[in-house]
Chain A
Amino acid sequence: MARGTIFERYGGFATAGKIVMAFYDRILDSDITGPYFDDVDMPRLMDHQTKFVASVMGGPASYTDEMLEQLHRRLNVTNEAFDEMARLFRETLEEFAMAEEDVETLAREINSRRDVIVSAD
């Protein structure tokens, strides 16, 4: 059994920061997820991304389901957009040479939040 959280094992904030930047690039470039961020200002988006990524990696941020629901309520996130986001997150993690089992763990973490993030058909 690996010791510590994924956040700690992969180098803490230094790695999480790089993952945030790479993930951010991917979701903005995607035609499915990108439009959701058209009107979001950068500081707010980076704040959200940093906390979100650190949170799913078991880092110091904790995003409650209630907070996530509140943040995404007005965005009308579809299942398609959620799937795309999850796929891009997985791609990002693979790019950082994360072990398969850790990628799976994080993918599960992301998927467990589907119900609070998706609010449109």
Chain B
Amino acid sequence: MRSINRFRPVFYVLLSVYALITFVPFLWALSASFKSLPEIVSGGIHFIPKHFTLDNYQTIFKQEPLFSRWFLNSAFIAISVTIFNLLFNSMAGYALARIRFPGSTLMFYSILAMIMIPGQLTIIPSYLIIKELGWLNSYQAIIVPMAAQATYIFMMRQFFISFPKELEEAAELDGLGRFGLFFKVVLPLAKPALAAQTIFIFMGAWNEFLKPLMLMSDKSMFTLSVGLNTFKGQYISFWNYIMAASIIMTIPALLIYIFFNRFFVQGITFTGTK
């Protein structure tokens, strides 16, 4: 302990330097989003805009009619995917943890095997299946294939395994069936696991790039991540607009993260992955 005390200031300096390394790119982007283009082009390093302006934000929402549409597309897809996953993954996880039925062991090992399948393998066949279904350029093209995820089914199963059985037994004596039991007793008590899942799934869907890139060719169906990329091509040197759009895209994920932060580590140790 004594040695730690002696070096304590050094560690604070290291942590602060790294905090700076983390923050500077974001602050630099934030600052650019409030500067006018001439101020950006004129160069020099100042993080506080000389003439603070909201024009960039107004422009991307007013001049680029699709920007708000992309934002709503992303929000609709991310929220739907999150709700479906919370429901379906918990149901499957609960069944695998608690209900004994023929085929359950096989299903459990299949889920485990699926966790190991890299997504790249299924990109092309999924595209062709979705094309055959006539789902290209539709919300369901992204929402349905993402509506249940093996990793989180496994996570929920682990959660329910260590769940006290007594509560369920008591509720069963009160005459609740499986469904009543699940929705009225089990799910409300699974809040920490559901919160951890919410963060990961919402962020995964909100930040997803490859799927909308491949499935949406209609500009009006783009999500923010893909829209942002075409935005970059269109406003190639208008970094003020590009940075304002980037900040807009970051805010929802940031809010979710701040709100659910205490469940973060828990979720990571549960799933072992992002």
| B partners with A | no
Interface set of A (CB-CB < 8 Å, partner B): none
